[in-house]
A and B are shown apart, each in its own frame.
Chain A
Amino acid sequence: QKEVEQNSGPLSVPEGAIASLNCTYSDRGSQSFFWYRQYSGKSPELIMFIYSNGDKEDGRFTAQLNKASQYVSLLIRDSQPSDSATYLCAVIPGSSNTGKLIFGQGTTLQVKP
């Protein structure tokens, strides 16, 4: 079992729709969860981080965390073509205080005009 798993996609949604990106992790003791966006040929860019169960909203983005199910998701409302990118889920394992990020393989999102 991979430590952090994402569906590689591509996930295709029409402009204006809600894009839902999902991620599961294996380390039940994990405490810190991150979503990064990476455009082709660019570096990962932090979009959201979440530490507590529940929802966290920032503009059009909502991160959702369910530690009991070991599941974290990212919702993008009113999706725009500029949101087309690879979205990386990352987790800091529970045993780590070093900041070591474990990444999923990323989900490619395509927003079609």
Chain B
Amino acid sequence: DTAVSQTPKYLVTQMGNDKSIKCEQNLGHDTMYWYKQDSKKFLKIMFSYNNKELIINETVPNRFSPKSPDKAHLNLHINSLELGDSAVYFCASSLRGFSEAFFGQGTRLTVV
């Protein structure tokens, strides 16, 4: 069983479109995250939810909106996609705020 799963794995879309990425974890963790890995492979946090409550909201364009319907799911919706949004987006989860995080397989977003 996959512990942290994301869909889709690949997403190719045109500028201006709106898209969503879904994430689910079956580890029973309380905290979930979205990270972005850019073309230089640098991994940076975007958002975090703890038990459906937003606890981290880094400096991210407000075109990006996370939603957590329950503590096992965290989705990311992106409006008006831009070329610069092309990256790999990783979902992750951890049991508590200071414990190790486990990552999903990533979603490679390409905006053309």
Contact = CB atoms under 8 A, between A and B. Distances in A.
29 contacts: A31-B98, A32-B99, A38-B41, A42-B106, A43-B103, A43-B104, A43-B105, A46-B102, A88-B43, A97-B98, A98-B31, A98-B55, A98-B97, A99-B31, A99-B33, A99-B94, A99-B96, A99-B97, A99-B98, A99-B101, A100-B45, A100-B48, A101-B35, A101-B43, A101-B45, A102-B45, A105-B42, A106-B41, A106-B42
Interface of B: 31, 33, 35, 40-45, 48, 50, 55-56, 90, 94, 96-106
Interface of A: 31-32, 34, 36, 38, 42-46, 49, 86, 88, 92, 96-103, 105-106
Contacts of A49: 100
Given A32-B98, A43-B104, A43-B106, A98 B90 contact: no
Looking at B31, B96, B100, the one whose CB has the most chain A CB atoms below 10 A away is B100
A98 B105 CA distance: 22
Nearest to A45: B103
A30 B99 CA distance: 13
